[in-house]
Each structure stands twice: as C-alpha cells, then as structure tokens.
C-alpha cells in the first residue's frame, strides 16, 4: 500500500487514481483513521475530506504520530487544509489556496469549508456550496468585471451569515434580492455563473495529488523534526483505533450515515 488518500465529496476515486495510480482511497477521515492508516506504513498519507460532526474529527496527535513514523502527511482543500495549517510547523505539508488562507489567517472559521453531502452509496454528492468556493467565484466575477467589487463583498457577507448546509447559488440569489442588492448584478452573475464558477476545493485537491505524485516519483527519506510525546489519552485512542482497525479501514466510521462534513 503506497499512498492512502482520505476523500469524499471533493474528488471522485477515479480522479485520485488518474493522478496517483497506486493510491488507496478511504472515506472522509475521522478520529483514529490516520493512526490506523499509518500502521500499514504507506509511502504517504493525503487528507482531503473529513468529518466534523456526526463522528469525532481526526485528532492532531495521530497526524503527529504518523509524521513521527517517517510518513509524509499532506493536506488540502478541506479537513486536510485546516489540519495542515495547524500542523505545518511540525512538517505536515499543506497544498493550495485554502491551506494558505488558513495558514495566513485570511480565513479562520470551520464553516468556510463546510458542506452538506450525500452518503457514500451516492458518491458523497455535494448538496451545498462551500464558502471558500463562493468567495473564489465572486472574486473571479469581480475581476472579470461581471459584478462590482462591492457587490461581490456584499454577497460574500450574505453567504457567510447563512447556515452552511443551505448555501447554494439559488438560495444566495434569492437572499441577494431580499437584501436589495442591484438586480443588474444578480442577473449578470446568474447568466455567467457557469463561466466564472471556481471550485476551489477541487482545484486544491488536484494540486495536492500533483505535488504528491511529483514528490513520490523520487522520494527522499522523511524525518520529523520533533519528538513524539506519548500521553494517557494517546494510548487510549491508539488502543481503540487498533481494536476496530479492520472495520474502520473497510468502511470508515459510519461515513454513510452522516451528511454534514467539515473539510478542515
């Protein structure tokens, strides 16, 4: 097993395989999954998607443990971007604009990457739009002169105030009219949405895969620049994770039953 990628609604399995032929795709990451994956000593681990609610989220400590075992851990797009921003100082490798925005403090909240999505047997189909992609799309539309910068920022603010699971372009256009935004701007954006739309999470996920493929083509030994400290809580987590290792690796931690995902 050379590479393990945790992914859900951001990218499809065939897209992962096209970029990394030896990759093994796992469901969105939850607590204990990175520890279990690292026990197989893969060449690298990539985190794209992960659960925030409905299941315990991936623990920083298990990522640090994987790094301490000499396993490079990459993160982008969603849960991976957030964890990489939090752990890049310890050697986790973040990739993409979302990671950079979290790392640099330009965005902070979890809801920036939160989406509602369908179950595994539906391919984790997204049911809402992530705020990071809404931002990127509106900034692109303003850059191209389709809407004004003020209009773009006003609609971003409306989206930010909305519950993440209800963020869709249709609902945003409705709210924009209710808030009195210029009809000309709404109509122009509606007409050109397909042309200006930016799927920032998808772009970042693909960028991570490209970087992993390039690095792993001629890998150098990875050595963590810190000493991993065991704790009582770590030992408990490791014991629980090891106990249901086979079940978790085959199906994830009840991923099919959860429709809310925060791609930290």
Contact 81, 94 (CB under 8 A): yes
Average confidence (pLDDT) over 7-23: 93
140: number of Cβ within 10 Å: 16
Predicted confidence at residue 54, as pLDDT, reads 74
Predicted confidence at residue 264, as pLDDT, reads 35
- Per the model's pLDDT, the better-predicted residue between 206 and 54 turns out to be 206
pLDDT at 259 over 70: no
Q: For the chain, state the CA radius of gyration.
A: 19
Tens digit of each residue's pLDDT (9 = 90 or more) over 90-108: 999 999 999 999 999 999 9
Report the distance separating Cα 203 and Cα 209, nearest Å. Answer: 10
Predicted confidence at residue 52, as pLDDT, reads 80
Query: How would residue 56 be classed by pLDDT, with cut points 50, 70 and 90?
Result: confident
Average confidence (pLDDT) over 157-174: 96
Tens digit of each residue's pLDDT (9 = 90 or more) over 45-54: 999 999 987 7
Average confidence (pLDDT) over 209-231: 88
Tens digit of each residue's pLDDT (9 = 90 or more) over 110-136: 899 999 999 988 889 999 999 999 999
Report the distance separating Cα 78 and Cα 159, nearest Å. Answer: 18
> Would you call 72 helix, strand, or coil by DSSP?
coil
The token pair at 228 is: 């991993």
Report the predicted TM-score, pTM, of the whole model to 2 decimal places. 0.88
Chain length of the chain: 264
Report the distance separating Cα 198 and Cα 261, nearest Å. Answer: 20
**CA 262 to each of CA 7, 27, 98, 205: distance values in angstroms, whole numbers, following the listed order:** 12, 13, 13, 15
The token pair at 147 is: 């809407």
Percent of the chain with pLDDT over 90: 74
Predicted confidence at residue 1, as pLDDT, reads 54
- Please, where are the H alpha helices in 69-168? 79-87, 97-104, 131-143, 149-161
User: How do the domains of the chain map onto residue ranges?
Assistant: 3-120+201-262, 121-199
Q: Which residues partner with 94 through β-bridges? A: 75
User: Rounded to the nearest 5°, which phi and psi values hold at 6?
Assistant: -95, 115
Predicted confidence at residue 71, as pLDDT, reads 96
Report the distance separating Cα 100 and Cα 9, nearest Å. Answer: 21
Report the distance separating Cα 184 and Cα 177, nearest Å. Answer: 11
- Per the model's pLDDT, the better-predicted residue between 76 and 242 turns out to be 76
The token pair at 7 is: 């992914």
The token pair at 131 is: 């705020």
Query: How would residue 235 be classed by pLDDT, with cut points 50, 70 and 90?
Result: confident
Which stretch of 123-137, 211-225, 237-251 has the lowest confidence by average pLDDT? 237-251
């Amino acid at each position: 097993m050379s590479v393990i990628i945790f992914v859900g609604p951001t990218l499809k399995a065939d897209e992962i395989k096209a970029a990394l032929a030896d990759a093994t795709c796992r469901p969105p990451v939850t607590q204990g999954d990175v520890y279990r994956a690292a026990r197989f000593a893969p060449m690298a681990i990539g985190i794209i998607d992960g659960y925030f609610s409905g299941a315990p989220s991936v623990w920083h400590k298990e990522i640090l443990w994987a790094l301490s075992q000499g396993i490079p851990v990459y993160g982008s797009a969603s849960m991976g971007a957030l964890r990489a921003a939090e752990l890049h100082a310890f050697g986790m490798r973040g990739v993409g604009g979302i990671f950079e925005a979290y790392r640099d403090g330009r965005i902070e909240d979890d809801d920036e990457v939160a989406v509602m999505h369908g179950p595994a047997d539906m391919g984790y189909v997204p049911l809402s739009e992530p705020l990071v992609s809404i931002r990127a799309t509106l900034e692109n539309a303003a850059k191209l002169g389709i809407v004004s910068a003020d209009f773009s920022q006003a609609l971003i603010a409306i989206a930010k105030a909305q519950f993440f699971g209800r963020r869709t372009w249709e609902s945003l256009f409705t709210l924009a009219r209710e808030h009195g935004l210029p009809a000309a701007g709404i109509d122009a954006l509606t007409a050109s949405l397909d042309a200006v739309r930016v799927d920032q999470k998808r772009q970042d996920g693909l960028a991570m895969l490209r970087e992993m493929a390039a690095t792993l083509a001629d890998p150098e030994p990875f050595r963590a620049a810190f000493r991993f400290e065991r704790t009582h809580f770590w030992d408990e987590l490791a014991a629980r994770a090891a106990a249901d290792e086979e079940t978790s690796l085959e199906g994830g931690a009840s991923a099919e039953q959860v429709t809310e995902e925060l791609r930290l």
